[in-house]
Amino acid sequence: MGRPPFQLALTLSYDGSDFFGSQVQPGRRTVQDELERALAALYGAPCPVVFAGRTDRGVHAAGQVVSLPDPRSDLEPATVRAALNARLPTDLVVVAARRRPFRFNARYDARWREYRYRIWSGGHEPLAARQVWMRSARLDLAAMARAAMLLHGEHDFASFAGGGEGVPWSPRQAQPRGTRRTLFASEVRRLTPWWRGEGAGELFEYRVVGDGFLPQMVRALISAVAEVGRGTRPTSWIADLLEAKDRRAGAGTAPPSGLTLWQVGYEAFGSAPAQAGAPAAAASNAEE
């Protein structure tokens, strides 16, 4: 038997609150476990998948992409999508299915990934608790926007790298790019709360797009931006952290509840809409 001539590219949306992350972990409920269980039930055989980006426990996704060799090229992608959704739990859904050339790899062909992080500044909101970072302190939008702007571009993000990778002796530093990454967008805006009218607090969203992310990097970035917004640190502190290149000098790590992997792009950023399975590109890291 030859190899399958195509890859399936599946775009996933999930509420990460009750998952122990995206990747398989023995004895834990993960997105990969649930998806591969549904695929095996559909195709009658194990179907390992490749994720475009790793998401930690409690992190959500609106546009996660996975790829796998297509076991049944006679099935239309729309049929595969419907059949999988009939077998998946309610907190995980396939929002799109496409057939791509066999060489397509959801992780290594990705050119950029977009994350969004939401913070609620106000009283407790039970309808939003699983989707935002709740802060009682007032946050200054203009200050956060200035702080986010300083993160734009190519920098050494060691001060924002978790998992032991942000210290000078980390093995990550021996890799070709080390802890250097490029952010194509880094911005903060105010949103209208979806659960009630305005007036009881403020909802903010941090949008960041990059060619790769270090472990827990987005959550460290927004933690630092929020410190500036709270007035406990000056805007210049962001530049100091970038210059330090050491996680021990960094801010804390924001909780996972506010973070969503928004979309994954397979063309150069800004050149075309994100679409799973575009022409292959250089490999990039994708951890959060």
The residue with tokens 């049944």 is 72
Contact between residue 32 and residue 64 where contact means Cβ atoms under 8 Å apart? no
Could you please report the per-residue DSSP string of 221-263? HHHHHHHHHHTSS-THHHHHHHHH--GGGS-----GGGEEEEE
236 token code pair: 């210049």
Cα dist from 215 to 4, 95, 276, whole Å: 33, 26, 23
Active site residues: 56
Cα–Cα distance for residue pair 63/85, rounded to 1 Å = 16
User: Helix or strand or coil: residue 95?
Assistant: strand
